[in-house]
Each structure stands twice: as C-alpha cells, then as structure tokens.
Amino acid sequence: MTSSSAAVLQDPPRDVAAAAIAREGHRRDALLPVLHALQDRFGHVPAETIPFIAKALNLSRADVHGVVSFYHEFRTAPPGRHIVRLCLAEACQAMGAPALRAHVEQTLGVGMHETTSDGTVTLEPVYCLGNCACAPSVMIDGETHGRVTAERFDALLAEPRGRS
C-alpha cells in the first residue's frame, strides 16, 4: 500500500472537488482544471462529485456530464493500478504498432479500455505521444517509452507489476 492510496481513502472525493474549486474559482472555465484534479487524485472522476461541481459552478448536471463524456481522457470508473497507453497513430503504425498491439493485448489478456482481471493494468489507446522519431511508443504510468519491442514491453511491464 503506497502513501498516496492511503490518502485517497482518507479524502472523500467531494473534499478534493471542493478544494479544487476553491483554488480555481467558481467560474465555468474552472471545470476542466477541477475534473483534472479529481482524475489526478482518483484515476477517474467519481460520479458523486458531479452534482456538487454543477452546483458550485452554477451549471446543470447534464452540462458537467457532457464535458466529462466529451473528452477521451476522463474516466468515469476507477482504472487498474497501472495505466498502459499504447500509441496507435501513424508514425507508430509505420514502426509496427499493430503487431505490438496484438502482443500487448495477448499478454495482458484484455482489449483497449479494459482492465486485467487482477486489477493491475488498464490498457488504453493514445493518438500520439510526440515521440514519433522513436516509434513505437508506450506510456506507462505517465512515463513515455520509445522503440518498444515486444520483449522491451514485457520487461517494462514486469517492473511496475512487481511493485504493485
């Protein structure tokens, strides 16, 4: 158990939302920064915060839900403990991303937007990490890795999985 997951248990999502709104202001344009603060902390935007945010920013719940659902990155359910984002854009395709994808999906036993049954890894697609001269690229827990072969992926994955 890491210290940050202990903190998650202590801080109710509503308090995190309230703190973010106090920092960003009660204006509509605070919405994305507030949603990011929640996702940074909990890995997703907890559903119970939506009515609270709507009231604080003077928006309808539908408004807030519409924003959360528009942006690919915001999740509405908790992800696995580690997040693997595989780049599927053109430059990575040119260097074997489709084959890497097949390997990753087979190794993890999940498809895109799914979480392994042990709750360790969530797999997501990403369209460009800006690492196009070092393709194919994979981001694991916020760190970008380049020239990822199947073997290198297995080695990269062994490390965070061993820790969790």
Partner 1 sequence: MNHTIYIPLDTSARSLGADAVAAAISAQAASRGVTIRIVRTGSRGAFWLEPLVEVATPSGRIAYGPVQPGDVAALFDCNFLTGGPHPLRLGIAAELDFFRRQERLTFQRVGVIDPLSLEDYLAAGGFRGLDQALAIGRARTLTEVIESGGRGRGGAAFPTGLKWRTAHDAPGADKYLVCNADEGDSGTFSDRMLLEGDPFTLIEGMLIAGYAIGAAKGYIYLRSEYPNAERVLAAAIAAAERHGYLGRRVSTTDFAFEIEIRRGAGAYVCGEETALLESIEGRRGQVRAKPPLPALQGLFGQPTVVNNVISLASVPAILAHGAEYYRDYGVGRSRGTLPFQLGGNIRYGGLVEKAFGLTLRELLYDFGGGSASGRPIRAVQVGGPLGAYLPETLFDTPLDYESFAGVSAMLGHGGIVVFDDTVDMARLARFAMSFCAHESCGKCTPCRIGAVRGVEVIDRILGDRDRPAAIALLRDLCDTMTQGSLCALGGLTPLPVLSALEHFPEDFAIRPRTHAA
Judged by the rule CB under 8 A, the positions of this chain that interact with partner 1 are 27-33, 35-36, 57, 66-67, 70-74, 88-95, 98, 101, 126-135, 137, 139, 142-147
The counts of H helices and E strands in the chain are 8, 5
* Cα–Cα distance, 4 to 125 (Å, whole number): 26
Residue 10 beta carbon to partner 1: minimum distance, rounded to whole angstroms: 25
CB atoms closer than 10 angstroms to residue 120: 15
Q: Specify the residue, 11 or 73, whose C-beta has the smaller distance to partner 1.
A: 73
CB atoms closer than 10 angstroms to residue 39: 18
Q: Specify the residue, 58 or 117, whose C-beta has the smaller distance to partner 1.
A: 58
Residue 94 beta carbon to partner 1: minimum distance, rounded to whole angstroms: 4
Q: At 142, is the secondary structure helix, strand, or coil?
A: coil
Q: Specify the residue, 47 or 117, whose C-beta has the smaller distance to partner 1.
A: 47
List the Cα angle 102/105/108 in 5-degree steps: 145
Contact status, residue 124 vs residue 83, Cβ threshold 8 Å = yes
Q: Specify the residue, 71 or 106, whose C-beta has the smaller distance to partner 1.
A: 71
